[in-house]
Amino acid sequence: MIDYLAFNARYHPERQATGDLNAPGRWTYREFDELVARYATALAKHGMRQGERLACLAKNCVSLVALHLACARLGAIYVPLNWRWSPVEVGRVLDETEPELVLGDSLLSAQQIGGVDIEEFDSEAGSCEPHPTREIDPDLPSLILFTSGTSGRPKGAVLTERNLAETAFNASLLLRVTQDSVFLCDAPMFHVIGLVANIRPALMQGGSFLVSDGFEPARTLQRLADPELHISHYFCVPQMASALRAEPAFDPVGLQSLTALFTGGAPHPAASITKWLDDGILAVDGFGMSEAGTVFGMPIDAGVIRSRTGSCGLASPRLATRIVSDSGEVLGPGEAGELQLRGKNIFSEYWRRPEDTRSAFTADGWFHTGDIARCDAEGFHWIVDRKKDMFISGGENVYPAEIEAALLELDAIAECAVVGVADERWGESGHLYLVTRPGCELNDEQVLAHLQSRIARYKIPKQVSFIDALPRNAAGKILKDHLRTRHKESSDELE
């Protein structure tokens, strides 16, 4: 398997590979290759071997990318931890992955987790000899990306170097990535966008990526417009794009050098895309998953985008897609059904979850995305619904079952249900409907305080309603569609 960083370190060693915008630091391909090699040696000294896991809890920095690539060279597995999780959630993932080593920044002490400080590790690696460059086994896993499951337990998508290289190919084709491309990365590096889509295509094509410790609308806008940084590619969720437009200093003239503003993680409203186009900036929507990387992307063409606003685009020619009915029948253009995928980009398994892995694939090897989609005769796709009750808040997947399970720890609650509803700021947010037990008293503050210690902040419902009973069908299942309708009617009355 080609090590694209090592190749580009020989092919054009003095081209810039990466830079850290939070601290003085720029690396050429030769320098970044050497940094990764020293990290690999240091990791080996800490006991990292083939198959061992390295967990990391930290905000974005170049070191996180170097750690992941160093793991790949050793045959080890990198496990980025979501810093939005509560300590309980982080602890569960650590218990499940049993890492040989934990690294992190100040978030480690804040969450009371034992581990090695990244800056100390970086200093240690600086005195190490570079690890010899060897051929990478493409079928060895190098990354586990965790995403919440419907049961409330996170599921770890295991990605091999073959999967990640294929995602780099797909993204390079769909995002028009070249050796002149410069990515600004402030999407969190525990996500597929932050650690894979922003990084792997640039390294494959000999481009560069600049790392920011996080999204701050005013600062991000300034960087996108900075002629010295030459940003060509910026990946964000639609809510981040809206925040950029809402900034008082927003001026589309300064953003004309962008190849495009690429959005994913949630549907991008057609009206918002049109506004970007009217400003002369291509807003290119796409679709991807932790389990599959980059799948769809709109052509980088204003006319095509304007004619199909709301579409997530065409699939990479390197993977196969199909839309099927509940009975498994392959559907034709215009018909909505479950989107299924097949290709070398698809993850290998869910970490230590054989039953979940088996149920994720059809008998003939297609991956169940769980998303309802339709396509037209030319192959343009639209994601029209979600098969399950998951909703997306600020680009983060939120599963009601997890919230409901945490709430039912309260004796005062007889039953409850969470539904995703429209939210101007976050795209969607949770509306909690709950029924209290007779004689029990409970208020909003008590409910939310209970959740704050158990789940990440972004999962906590923004609205709470106390009702007499949850609507159910004849089989006793909660009718969440009725709750969504109830929310909409209440919102309409307030307008």
In this predicted structure, what is the pLDDT of residue 269? 76
Q: Using CA atoms, how far apart are residues 252 and 256, in angstroms rounded to an integer?
A: 7
Beta-bridge mates of residue 381: 313, 375
In this predicted structure, what is the pLDDT of residue 147? 83
Structural domains for the chain: 4-384 (3.40.50.12780), 391-494 (3.30.300.30)
Closest CA to 407 of 439, 438, 433: 433
In this predicted structure, what is the pLDDT of residue 477? 63
* Order of all β-strands in the sheet with 16-20: 26-28, 16-20, 208-211, 182-185, 233-236, 260-263, 283-289, 293-297, 314-315
User: How would you classify residue 47: left for phi > 0, otherwise alpha for psi between -120 and 50, otherwise beta?
Assistant: left
367-375 and 337-342: which strand pairing?
antiparallel
List pLDDT tens digits, range 286-299: 999 999 999 999 99
**E-only strand ranges, 135-198:** 141-148, 154-160, 182-185
Mean pLDDT of 366-385: 91
Q: Using CA atoms, how far apart are residues 248 and 226, in angstroms rounded to an integer?
A: 17
Q: Using CA atoms, how far apart are residues 287 and 384, in angstroms rounded to an integer?
A: 12
Q: Using CA atoms, how far apart are residues 463 and 395, in angstroms rounded to an integer?
A: 19
In this predicted structure, what is the pLDDT of residue 400? 81
- Per-residue pLDDT band for 396 (boundaries 50, 70, 90) equals confident
| CA triple 170-172-176, angle to 5 deg | 130
- On average, the pLDDT of the chain sits at 92
| CA triple 254-255-257, angle to 5 deg | 110
- Per-residue pLDDT band for 148 (boundaries 50, 70, 90) equals low
List pLDDT tens digits, range 439-465: 998 999 999 999 998 899 999 999 999
> Is the pLDDT confidence value at 475 over 80?
no
Distance between start and end Cα atoms, the chain: 59
Q: What is the DSSP letter of 85?
A: S
In this predicted structure, what is the pLDDT of residue 493? 62
Q: Using CA atoms, how far apart are residues 413 and 278, in angstroms rounded to an integer?
A: 50
For the record, the structure tokens of 7 come out as 């190749």
- Per-residue pLDDT band for 474 (boundaries 50, 70, 90) equals very low
> Is the pLDDT confidence value at 102 over 90?
yes
Under 8 Å between Cβ of 257 and 230:
yes
Percent of the chain with pLDDT over 90: 77
Contacts of 203 (CB under 8 A, 6+ apart): 4, 5, 8, 17, 168, 209
Q: What is the pTM of this model?
A: 0.84
Q: What is the DSSP letter of 459?
A: G
Mean pLDDT of 249-259: 95
Lowest model confidence (mean pLDDT) among 7-11, 386-390, 392-396 = 386-390
Helix (H) or strand (E) holding 239: helix 238-246
Better-scored residue on pLDDT, 154 or 139:
139
Question: Token match 């299924």: residue?
Answer: 340
